Amino acid sequence: MSRKIYPKKVGDCQLCGIEIIAKNSGWNKPNRKFCSNKCKSVVSNRNRVWKQSSKDKVGKANSLHKRTLEQRLAMSLRARGEKGSNWQGGITDKNIKIRNSIDMRLWRETVFKRDGYQCVWGGKVHGNKLHADHIKPFSLYPELRFAIDNGRTLCEACHRSTETYAGKIRTFMTSASL
């Protein structure tokens, strides 16, 4: 009786072309067509035809998750502090708390709506990854953090080119003092 040598190549994945290697538990499956369950599901879902009734059910289920401002605030309050599932004894930095607050999310949404969900410097042609930028820096002007007129919608590339983006704040501070 000959001994089987593993790992052993049993074929190539039909989707991505990667070699399918059989290890100890997979030696008796020589007819495998995919390297992973992910590749298998992509191919099996590619040719799926959705019935209109199924589309309607999914749409109806998703429309039920629209929450009002009051509901969002109530949910936020219910999960704050020691009541939250990820409570670690109050170790979160003050700025992180402010940036993750419901007030900041509402400020961001309001700035996006005001600017029509477009980069104010370049419009739609500048990309689709939008940032809500503070005109006067978040860290230097705490009184203007939630002021709508201190915000603007920028695409990622334009935001990176501002003089206050990330570590450039020191440059902004020295140029503002001149």
Domain parsing of the chain, residue ranges: 8-46, 92-178
Please, what is the angle between helix 102-114 and helix 69-78, to 10°?
Answer: 150
pLDDT at site 104: 92
pLDDT-based confidence at residue 48 (cuts at 50, 70, 90): confident
- Least Cα distance to 111 among 149, 166, 162 occurs for 149
Q: Are 49 and 38 in contact (CB under 8 A)?
A: no
Tell me what the mean pLDDT of segment 3-17 comes to. 74
Tokens representing 129 are 């990854």
Using a cut of 0.75, tell me whether the model's pTM lies above it. Answer: no
Tell me what the mean pLDDT of segment 77-101 comes to. 82
Tokens representing 90 are 């109050």
First to last CA, the chain: 86
3-state secondary structure of 2: coil
Convert the pLDDT of each residue in 12-21 to its tens digit.
888 888 888 7
3-state secondary structure of 133: strand
